[in-house]
Amino acid sequence: MSTLLFVYGTLKRGCSNHRHLAGQTFVGVARTVAGFHLYDLGGYPGIAAVAADRTGVVGEVWSVDAAALAQLDVFEGVHEGLYRRAPIALEPPFAAQTIHAYFPALGTAGRPELGSEWTE
């Protein structure tokens, strides 16, 4: 079984941690619905809900198998409480699908805003 995953930072194609998606399937470029922003967490981004946002966040959707998802959960520190994986709402053509993303579990308060797209 595969899971659709929205990546918005260092896991994207051409970025420093993309190797963690090796062997997985790129589905397409995507954007969240309005209401999300990226924040600088110290060399990598975190996504958070921001009610005033009108543009959303640009990223990529990947289809990942169960083994890759388990490895990504370890990489993202899910079990250590650094990130949590949860559904995220995307614009069409992904609007009707269940797609997950990693959210910083410790929040983004006081962190610099990055806007809608991460570039390395």
Cβ atoms within 10 Å, residue 99: 20
Looking at the chain, list the stretches that DSSP marks H as alpha helix, in order from N- to C-terminal side.
Answer: 66-75
Beta strand 58-65 with 2-7 is antiparallel
Q: What is the mean pLDDT of residues 68-90?
A: 97
The pLDDT of residue 90 is 98
Sheet order of strands, 36-40 included: 45-49, 36-40, 113-115
Confidence of residue 107 (pLDDT cuts 50, 70, 90): confident
Task: Collapse the DSSP code of 92 into the 3-class scheme (helix H, G, I; strand E, B; otherwise coil) and give the result.
Answer: coil
Over the stretch 22-67, which tens digit does the pLDDT of each residue have? Answer: 999 999 999 999 999 999 999 899 999 998 989 999 999 999 999 9
pTM for this entry = 0.95
Over the stretch 6-25, which tens digit does the pLDDT of each residue have? Answer: 999 999 999 999 999 999 99
Domains of the chain are 2-108 (3.10.490.10)
How is residue 21 annotated by DSSP?
G
Q: What is the mean pLDDT of residues 66-95?
A: 97
Q: Cβ(86)–Cβ(30) under 8 Å?
A: no
Which residue, 36, 44, 48, 34, is CA-closest to 109? 48
Please list the active-site residues. 76
